[in-house]
Amino acid sequence: MNNETTKVTGGCLCGRIRYEAEVFLKNGYICHCTICQRSTGQPSEITVPIKAGTLKYLEAEPKYYVSSEDGKRGFCEQCGGRIVWQALRAEDDWLTNIHVGSLDNPSEARPSSHIFVNTQLPWYQLCEELPVFAEEDLDALFEFLKEERNPDL
C-alpha cells in the first residue's frame, strides 16, 4: 500500500460543485458491489480514499442519497455528476472516498485493489494484476486500512 497523501481538486460536470481534499491517490478501489452498480449505472465504481477531515467544498455542496446503513452518496443536483461516498458516522470518516472521474487530474490516481469481486460482472476485467477481495474478506482488509491510516486511534 502507498500511504502518501496528495492535495487534489475536482468537481462535477457543470462546475457547480468544486472541492479540495487530501487523498490517498495511489490507493484507489475498484468496487464491484451491487449498490455501486445501481448507483453509477456502470459495472463498478472507482474511488480514491480521502484523508479524514480534509474534504472541503468550495462552492455548492452535493445533494446526498443514503445508500446503506454506512454511507451516503453525494451528487450534483444540477448535472447529476457523482462526487463522493461519505461515511454516515464521524468515526468512519476514514472510509470516505471521492469518485476518481471527478478529480481534475484523474490520470494521476492509481487503483490498488478490487473489492466486492463476488459480484463482479464476468465480462468486465480491468487492472487484472491487482489483488481482489470478496465481501467476506473485507472486514480484514478494512481493519488493516483503518489502522494504517489512523495511527492515532
Question: Can residue 95 be called a binding residue for Zn ion (CB under 5 A)?
Answer: no
Find the binder of Zn ion among 21, 30, 33, 145 (CB under 5 A).
33
Cα dihedral: 6, 2, 25, 66 (round 10): -110
Query: What is the spatial distance between Cα 105 and Cα 36, in angstroms, rounded to a whole number?
Result: 22
Binders of Zn ion among residues 122 to 141 (CB under 5 A) are none
Question: Can residue 78 be called a binding residue for Zn ion (CB under 5 A)?
Answer: yes
Q: How many residues bind Zn ion (CB under 5 A)?
A: 10
Query: What is the spatial distance between Cα 87 and Cα 93, in angstroms, rounded to a whole number?
Result: 5
- The stretch among 60-68, 80-88, 94-102, 133-141 that binds Zn ion (CB under 5 A) is 80-88
- Using the structure block, give the residue that is written with the C-alpha cell 454511507: 71
Query: What is the spatial distance between Cα 40 and Cα 65, in angstroms, rounded to a whole number?
Result: 13
Applying CB under 5 A, the residues found at the interface with Zn ion are 12, 14, 16, 31, 33, 36, 76, 78-79, 81
